[in-house]
């Protein structure tokens, strides 16, 4: 069965990483929730897509934090804004969550300001209180960057999981775009599944830090030999939809039969599970043949796209709209 993983909660309906988004995703039938983890100055893991938070919180509306606005380079990208590592948890908890894509999702933006920022502990408590088992797919962000800044993300995550009773929980998966932090967690004997995220292009930040221009590319780590090597350390890989569907002619997709995906087939042959991100129904995110009308925010032929992705045999899909992904899985015949 293909797992439906709520990408930052039901983030197509509520501001991402808010309690409302998490609660709604559970109500809509997700199998797991994916939070992104970044640290505060005093070492608390908070749930934000990035450590730069001007687009997902009301931090700019707090005059007392105006002097925290700064410019930093994170994994080669220069950003200006407010960064979680410059705030204590007591300060961050005064902020409220905002919709990251208000032009595309005005209904979600209507819930701006309703919820505070949460810690990892808060989400674990939500999952423990859920009416049925719901998994956690925790993404460790910018591990090398934070390590150099004095935040050992593997140790910090292991400590929170231990204190919360989740360290050996079978519902746990940890993922990262960097192998180093996953290896650190494995060495600590942190439980759960370890999944290596791979961008379509570029190289992992920890590989660049170690090898500079000689760092292996993500693409090179999808060769048969590389996949076999990854399978000796990790449980799975997670790739973007373009990589998953490379070579598939979306104009010819029908509603029956399997869809062949090279990376799914080859990774499965190597003994790896495969996950993909991110299913979104808006025209802006769909292949051109599946867009409907001229409004980028309108929903296109999302069902055809979602069901085609699921028919590759992928082990899990990340989706902003949990309800639509669950419906697509049911249409394919993979409901739990």
Question: Helix, strand, coil: what percent of the chain each, to 5?
Answer: 40, 20, 40
Q: Are 124 and 169 in contact (CB under 8 A)?
A: no
Please indicate whether residue 29 or residue 294 has the higher confidence score (pLDDT): 29
- Residue 49: active-site member: yes
Active site residue 13: no
Full set of structural domains in the chain with CATH? 3-50+116-332 (3.20.20.190)
> What average pLDDT does the structure give for the chain?
96
Q: Specify whether the backbone of 119 is left (phi greater than 0), alpha (psi in -120 to 50) or beta.
A: beta
Q: How far is CA 275 from the centre of its chain?
A: 11
- The mean pLDDT of 41-45, rounded to a whole number, is 98
pLDDT tens profile 175-203: 999 999 999 999 999 999 999 999 999 99
pLDDT at 249: 83
Can you list the pairs that 158-166 forms with residues at least 24 positions away whose Cβ atoms lie under 8 Å? 158/185, 158/188, 158/190, 160/45, 160/120, 160/121, 160/124, 161/190, 161/191, 163/121, 164/120, 164/121, 164/124, 164/125, 166/124, 166/136
Could you tell me which residues are beta bridge partners of residue 282?
299
User: Each residue of 236-269: b (16+ CB within 10 Å) or e?
Assistant: bbbbbbebbbeebebeebeeeeebebebbebbbe
Active-site choice (13, 17, 49, 111): 49
pLDDT digits (tens, 9 = 90+) for 153-172: 999 999 999 999 999 999 99
SS in 3 state form for 268-305? Answer: HHHCCEEEEEEECCEHHHCCHHHCCCCCCCCECCHHHH
Question: What mean pLDDT do residues 29-46 have?
Answer: 98
Choosing from 7, 17, 111, 235, which is the catalytic residue?
Answer: 7
Is residue 335 scored above 60 in pLDDT?
no
- The band of 255, judged by pLDDT with boundaries at 50, 70 and 90, is low
Q: Are 193 and 172 in contact (CB under 8 A)?
A: yes
Phi–psi pair at 207, nearest 5 degrees: -70, -40
The reported pLDDT for the residue numbered 252 is 73
pLDDT score recorded for residue 336:
41
Give the dihedral sign, CA 208/209/210/213. positive
Q: What percent of the chain has pLDDT over 70?
A: 99
Tens of pLDDT, residues 51-105: 999 999 999 999 999 999 999 999 999 999 999 999 999 999 999 999 999 999 9
Q: Which among 108, 102, 137, 132 has a CA at the least distance from the CA of 276? A: 137
Closest CA to 19 of 130, 105, 107, 104: 130
Residue 214's pLDDT band (cuts 50, 70, 90):
very high
């Amino acid at each position: 069965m293909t797992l439906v993983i709520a990408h930052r909660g039901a983030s197509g309906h509520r501001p991402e990483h808010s309690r409302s988004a998490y609660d709604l995703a559970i109500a809509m039938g997700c199998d797991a929730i994916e939070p992104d983890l970044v640290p505060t100055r005093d070492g608390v893991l908070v749930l934000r897509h990035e450590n730069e938070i001007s687009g997902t919180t009301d931090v700019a509306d707090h005059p007392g934090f105006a002097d925290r606005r700064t410019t930093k380079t994170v994994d080669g990208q220069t950003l200006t804004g407010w960064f979680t590592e410059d705030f204590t948890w007591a300060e961050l908890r005064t902020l409220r969550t905002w919709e990251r894509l208000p032009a595309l999702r005005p209904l979600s933006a209507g819930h701006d300001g309703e919820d505070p920022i949460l810690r990892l502990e808060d989400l674990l408590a939500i999952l423990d209180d859920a009416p049925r088992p719901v998994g956690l797919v925790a993404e460790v962000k910018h591990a090398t960057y934070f390590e150099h800044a004095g935040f050992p993300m593997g140790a910090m995550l292991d400590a929170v999981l231990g204190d919360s009773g989740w360290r050996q929980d079978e519902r746990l998966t940890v993922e990262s775009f960097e192998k180093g932090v996953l290896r650190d967690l494995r060495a600590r004997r942190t439980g759960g599944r370890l999944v290596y995220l791979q961008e379509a292009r570029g190289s992992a930040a920890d590989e660049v830090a170690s090898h500079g221009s000689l760092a292996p590319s993500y693409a090179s780590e999808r060769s048969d030999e590389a996949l076999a090597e990854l399978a000796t350390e990790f449980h799975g890989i997670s790739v973007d939809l373009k990589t998953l569907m490379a070579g598939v002619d979306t104009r010819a997709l029908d509603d029956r039969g399997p869809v062949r995906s090279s990376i799914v087939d080859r990774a499965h042959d190597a003994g790896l599970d495969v996950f993909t991100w991110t299913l979104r129904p808006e025209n802006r995110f769909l292949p051109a043949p599946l867009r409907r009308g001229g409004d980028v925010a309108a929903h296109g032929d999302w069902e055809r796209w979602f069901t085609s992705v699921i028919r590759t045999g992928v082990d899990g899909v990340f989706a902003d709209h949990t309800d639509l992904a669950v419906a697509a899985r049911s249409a394919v015949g993979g409901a739990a």
